[in-house]
Amino acid sequence: MKAVILDAATLGDDIDLTPLHEAVDTLEVHAHTAREERQARLAGATVALTNKVVIDAELIDALPDLELICVLATGTNNIDMQAAKARGIEVRNVTAYGTASVAQHTLMLMLALANRLPLYMRDVAAGRWNDSPMFCLLDHRTLQLAGKHLVIVGHGELGRAVAHLAEAFGMRVTFAARPGNEAHDSRPALASLAGELDVLSLHCPLNDETRHLVDADMLARFKPGALLLNCARGGIIDESAALDALRNGTLGGLGVDSLPDEPPREGHALIDALQEGHNLIVTPHSAWISPEARANVVRLTVDNLRHWLASRA
């Protein structure tokens, strides 16, 4: 049985792929695969392993030997699921591999923004501490997390992990209702919580109900100085509206780990705004990348392969 990894570089070069090699007869490993290279590399393969390389209907039609697609991530939006189903090709993904890593990253953003770290780092680098008439700088009002209200959108394993860490800092945590299902969800709607939250953290998928969930109208409901964190998907917030709120001072801090288009080949307004001196952090979709999380992707993918093989026996 031949298996092919199309974008192994997304796992990093410090992760042992031996368990994957041992799970199949032959494993071909490609660091990156361009669109025009996909068909040739997958020719004769029974199993395709991909993180972000697109496997669409046209490609599926051209691969008569393909029986399984293993996604080295949770999201399957890069797979034409209907075409795969029509061909009887099974698609298996991995979940909860980076819970600890993403939760840690979320708290990092929260702590850094609460303490105005981007602003004070710029001040120190500019020599303003050297010139201070007293022993410290007091220019940027910080936010003590103890006793503050954190609202989380997303009640899955990740959202609960973030809540657990936040509670260790003495925060009060509320989960908002699942967007699009407020009428049947016993939790309060985000709109009803917006005016009382100190921090909003997003841990939900991007879909029709969550796209621009945090828009200009929602931001206008926030109390002054609130922090907004997005370690989910770009597009869940209206990035333009959030930047406007940050610039006019109604939003106290903004931290994002994702943008609508990744990588941002054409740039993005939030990246440009990093030079403007706001309480803003943009990280390059790196919340999940701890070695432990990436090793978990391999382990869970091996489990997927073994379970699939057992189902065929």
Region 148-158 average pLDDT: 97
Under the banding of pLDDT at 50, 70 and 90, the label for residue 313 is confident
Side-by-side strand order, sheet with 149-153: 172-175, 149-153, 199-202, 226-230, 251-256, 280-282
Q: What percent of the chain has pLDDT over 90?
A: 96
Q: What percent of the chain has pLDDT over 70?
A: 100
- In this predicted structure, what is the pLDDT of residue 11? 97
Region 88-98 average pLDDT: 96
Instruction: Tell me: pLDDT of 170 over 80.
Output: yes
Kindly name the residue from 167, 262, 276, 292 that is annotated as catalytic: 262
Q: What CATH number labels 2-97+291-312?
A: 3.40.50.720
CA 216 to chain centre: 22
Kindly name the residue from 233, 268, 278, 294 that is annotated as catalytic: 233
Q: Is 262 a catalytic residue?
A: yes
* Gap between the Cα atoms of 144 and 286, Å rounded: 26
Count of residues in the chain:
313
Region 84-107 average pLDDT: 97
- In this predicted structure, what is the pLDDT of residue 75? 86
Q: Break the chain into its structural domains and give their ranges.
A: 2-97+291-312, 99-282
- Hey, what CATH class is 99-282 in? alpha beta
* 22-40 pLDDT per residue, tens: 999 999 999 999 999 999 9
Q: What is the mean pLDDT of the chain?
A: 97
DSSP H stretches of helix in 115-238: 117-125, 157-168, 190-193, 216-221
Angle at 72 between CA 70 and CA 74, to 5 degrees: 100
Under the banding of pLDDT at 50, 70 and 90, the label for residue 284 is very high
| Token pair for 26 | 């032959």
Q: Helix 99-114 vs helix 117-125: angle between axes, to the nearest 10 degrees?
A: 60
Fold match flag (2-97+291-312 vs 99-282): yes
* Gap between the Cα atoms of 200 and 223, Å rounded: 11
Kindly name the residue from 21, 149, 212, 285 that is annotated as catalytic: 285
Q: Is 92 a catalytic residue?
A: no
Region 198-226 average pLDDT: 96
* 37-84 pLDDT per residue, tens: 999 999 999 999 999 999 999 999 999 999 999 999 998 989 999 999
* 229-274 pLDDT per residue, tens: 999 999 999 999 999 999 999 999 999 999 999 999 999 999 999 9
pTM of the full predicted structure? 0.93
- In this predicted structure, what is the pLDDT of residue 246? 97
Instruction: Tell me: pLDDT of 183 over 90.
Output: no
74 φ, ψ to 5°? -85, -45
